[in-house]
Amino acid sequence: MIPDAPQLALATSWRAKARAWLFGFFLAAVCLPALCVPALRAHAQPTPADRETARTAFDEGVRAEQRGDLPAAERFFRDANNLVHVPSTALFLARVLAKQNRLLEARDAALEASRSPILAKEDPFQGKCRAEAVVLSTDLEARVPSLRIRVVGVDPAAAALSINGAPVPPLSSDSPRKLNPGTYVVSATAPGSAPVSQTLTLAERESKEVTLTLGAGPPGAVPPPPAARSKPSKVGPLVLMISGFGLGGASLITGAVTGGLALNKTDELRDACNNSPCPPAYAEDFDEASTLATVSDITLIVGGVLAAAGAGGAIWLALLPTGSQQRVGFAVNVLPSLSPDGAVVPNTYATLTIDVD
């Protein structure tokens, strides 16, 4: 019996689907082992020989670190970590790298230790190292310095940047670049522009910015040197010293004068009252003597504080480097005057003149 056209088309469709399924199973059987074997090898457990070798290298690294041979300690810890990849080997490697001011590499190792998987029946020492690695990685993140590089004069995308001669990829954003502490030469070149360079030093936790100007000057032109730092001004300590000593002296003089007036008034009251309680008629004189004594106490205290400030200004001035030239003039006048109630009150007039070269 010959099948009609619809039956033939249906049979042909099922045969095509069957061939496709068989081909798919064949690819899976052949390709999946090829893809999985490298991954299984990458996560394979270290052999007993690997673990023993790692223990020996780790102990050698500890001894090398204790005697101050950090490069040797780094090699031993790195070998141990490559063999077993446990928190302790990565943590000790991170510590040695940090001691060599290689903070970026140290943070990578600390992150590896902090993110290592927790194994069944794990040694408690590994758990402690994992926790310490979390703290260390956070600390290292804050200690890594950064440098923001700006290129002006040309399109930044057309400029080629290098740090210490090594090319660095351009950034489309204004993000700072993370670097280890140290001294760097930052260079930039662009078509039709003279290359420019700047040298700078980065310390831990420091952030700096460097601006490289391209498109100006003939090839080989040397950029102008940075402006010299101005010498520290001595105006501040001079003002403090002169004002402190001048106003303090004036206040002490005022205190002495008012104290003398208070004593004189007290002697007059003692003589008038014959060393006995004074009648109400002398109440105003008694109040005047008390006021003068209070003013004397206050001005003497203020004068002492101002004199101490003047001494601090003198010490500050002595600690500054020489070279600045300032001319300072100060004058103090103490003139007595009469208050509306007839009491003698000293008035202080101070004049301060500063002429800076």
Asked if residue 153 and residue 66 are part of one domain, the reply reads no
**Would 53 be classed as within a structural domain?**
yes
Asked if residue 173 and residue 123 are part of one domain, the reply reads no
**Would 3 be classed as within a structural domain?**
no
Higher pLDDT, 214 or 8: 214
Mean pLDDT lowest among 56-70, 193-207, 246-260: 246-260
Residue 181 burial class via C-beta count within 10 angstroms: exposed 0-12, middle 13-18, buried 19 and up = middle
Query: Would you give the DSSP letter of residue 342?
Result: S
**Would 316 be classed as within a structural domain?**
yes
Residue 157 burial class via C-beta count within 10 angstroms: exposed 0-12, middle 13-18, buried 19 and up = exposed
Our count of domains for the chain comes to: 3
**Would 102 be classed as within a structural domain?**
yes
Distance CA 63, CA 100 (A): 17
CB distance 272 to 282 below 8 Å: yes
Q: What is the pLDDT of residues 231-273, one digit of tens each?
A: 666 677 777 778 777 787 787 788 787 777 777 777 776 777 7
Our CA dihedral for 237, 241, 242, 246, rounded to 10 degrees, sits at 160
Residues 221-235 as b/e (b if ≥16 CB within 10 A, e otherwise) read eeeeeeeeeeeeebe
* Rounded percentage of the chain residues whose pLDDT exceeds 90: 40
CATH of the domain at 86: 1.25.40.10
Asked if residue 152 and residue 124 are part of one domain, the reply reads no
Domain end (from 143, 176, 201): 143
Asked if residue 75 and residue 56 are part of one domain, the reply reads yes
Domain range for 207? 146-213
Whether the predicted pLDDT of 135 surpasses 80:
yes
**Would 1 be classed as within a structural domain?**
no
Pairing of strands 146-152, 207-213: parallel
Asked if residue 270 and residue 158 are part of one domain, the reply reads no
Q: What is the pLDDT of residues 304-317, one digit of tens each?
A: 777 787 777 678 66
Asked if residue 195 and residue 167 are part of one domain, the reply reads yes
Q: How confident is the model at residue 119 (pLDDT cuts 50, 70, 90)?
A: confident
Asked if residue 138 and residue 194 are part of one domain, the reply reads no
